[in-house]
Amino acid sequence: HLDDPHHKVAQAALSTLADIIPSCRKSFESYMERILPHVFSRLIDPKELVRQPCSMTLEIVSKTYSIDSLLPALLRSLDEQRSPKAKLAVIEFAITSFNKHAMNSEGSSNIGILKLWLAKLTPLVHDKNTKLKDVAITCIISVYSNFDPTAVLNFILSLSVEEQNFLRRALKRYTPRIEVDLINYLQNKKERQRKSSYDPSDVVGTSSEEGYIGVSKKSLLLGRYSAGSTDGDGGRKWGSTQESTLITGNIGLATSDETQDNLFQNLETSSNTNVFPSKTKESSYMVNSICQTLGSQTGQIENLESSVNLEGLPTPHLEINGLSRFDTLETTEGATHNGTSSELDLNHLKPAAIKVRSMPDTGPSIPQILHVICNGNDESPTASKHNALQQLHEISVANDLSVWTKYANQILTAVLEVLDDSDSSIRELALSLIIEMVKNQKGVMGDSVEIVIEKLLHVMKDIVPKVSNEAEHCLNTVLSEYDPFRCLSVIVPLLVTGDEKTLVICINCLTKLVGRLSQEELTAQLPSFLPALFEAFGNQSADVRKTVVFCLVDIYIMLGKSFLPHLEGLNSTQLRLVTIYANRISQARTGTPIDA
């Protein structure tokens, strides 16, 4: 009756519901997921007679249940609403609920539902409806500020580079602190990973914050949903299982989601109908393991022109770099049906060694190269990574448009990931590759410049001088080549960091960027970073204070005396220091002091 077209019937149903909830609190909880979507749909009813009891019912629900209990119902409500107004009502109700309940130090008790909720909100950040877009951003910030910040950080880092970039930019306008938290969180995460004694062979893909998802081999038979969203609108389907022990090196193939599902169903069918003997099923599983997917950070799993029917095993049309073709499968298939051999002999499929270097006629095997960069190989991980990075260097110089159109995001993700490698020579080589990519693939790199800058800021604190110096050179190149406003969008929020080394680096970056702006552009940007600079001027570290002085001096020299009114936030000693240095440096550069 909640959906009854007669408004008096709907009103009576809503009023009854409002009376039932407080007295049947526990019993009603199991019905919330089914009932709340109907309540929200009447919240935008043209009749005030219906809207009023609807609001009253939702208010009672909000007072009676915690956000953990409400989330499944809210998720379903948002999913079922078609009207932007109704979606708006659901999200606004959720914001109120998140703000009302105190943060639990242990986070959400249902992390899976919370991830789905965040995934449902993320596409709305792109929505053309401004109100819906703003309220979606506000809700994500509400979860981050009031409920479970770690879940939000994890969710952001599970997105593809493009989505991550867009979402971080949107959130940064409202809560700059999230950038600092993300960098600190990543740093702590990397340190924990280095200390932990896990077996690298148990994880496939790369555990990158920029998009690749690591999936445990032990937990999956075939690729299913991974740690990202499983939501239809905002989520990503990832299929990635890799059995690198079957073949020396990794053979990266991408199959469509539909093909994967067909493979999975065929596997089940064969086990139910006894078409194959048990050993043949094991062979089928091995073929499945070989037909693996390399998780693309854009979330787009490309379709190969292939047809693999496990019930008949016809000649598969799959080409793999390093193998000529799976022609030997046809022979093996015949042997299986004749009963002479019940297992796939992988030696037929395995040459002496699969070389990562591409064959001249087939072009570079990018998925293989990326796999080696992120995982190395068993024999010589460092040498193989070094070789793979050199290959990418050659690919960058060649600048084949078809390669970069297809694999740009995957390449960038792998290169950024390897900046955390334990071997300093690998880190240094990756940095030189980024410089080469800035030179040869400027447009491709420009799409993700914010994430590149953040990563380089982190690497500049490397304990190995050669690496930190190369990172500084790399960062200076990026800051000089790309839109200064986009670079500022990364640097400015980090000026509130408590880490002195990061602060010095960011202020130095700011000094370089302000030099690329016109006087008008610089004046317009002053309110965004001057308060943070003034605060840093009082830092206990002499290095931080000195860096602030030279940044303010450069701005003073650019703007002249028109900058003085903006310096009112400084005390007399600080102001005198800036003025003295500005006059000295101006005199040295131009022969004329500013005060002249």
Tokens describing residue 205: 């893909």
Q: How far is CA 352 from CA 322, 356, 377, in A?
A: 10, 13, 15
Better pLDDT: 29 or 537: 537
Q: Which residue has the higher pLDDT, 333 or 479?
A: 479
- Rounded mean pLDDT, 221-245: 35
Count other C-beta atoms under 10 Å from residue 595's C-beta: 11
Output the pTM of the full model: 0.47
Check pLDDT > 70 for residue 118: yes
- For the segment 263-286, what is each residue's pLDDT rounded down to a tens digit? 444 444 444 444 343 434 344 434
- Rounded to 10 degrees, what is the CA torsion of 580, 582, 587, 593? -80
| CATH classification number, 483-596, choose in 1.10.760.10, 3.40.50.300, 3.30.70.20, 1.25.10.10 | 1.25.10.10
Class of domain 7-201: mainly alpha
Render pLDDT for 460-514 as a digit per residue (tens, 0 to 9): 888 899 999 999 999 999 999 999 999 998 898 888 877 888 899 999 999 999 9
| Closest C-alpha to 363, from 338, 400, 331 | 400
Cα gap 109→433, rounded to integer Å = 43
Give pLDDT, residue 335: 42
Rg over alpha carbons for the chain, rounded to the nearest Å, is 29
Work out the number of other CB atoms within 10 angstroms of the CB of residue 463: 7
- Phi, psi angles (nearest 5°) of residue 206: -135, 140
Phi, psi of 62 (to 5 degrees): -65, -40
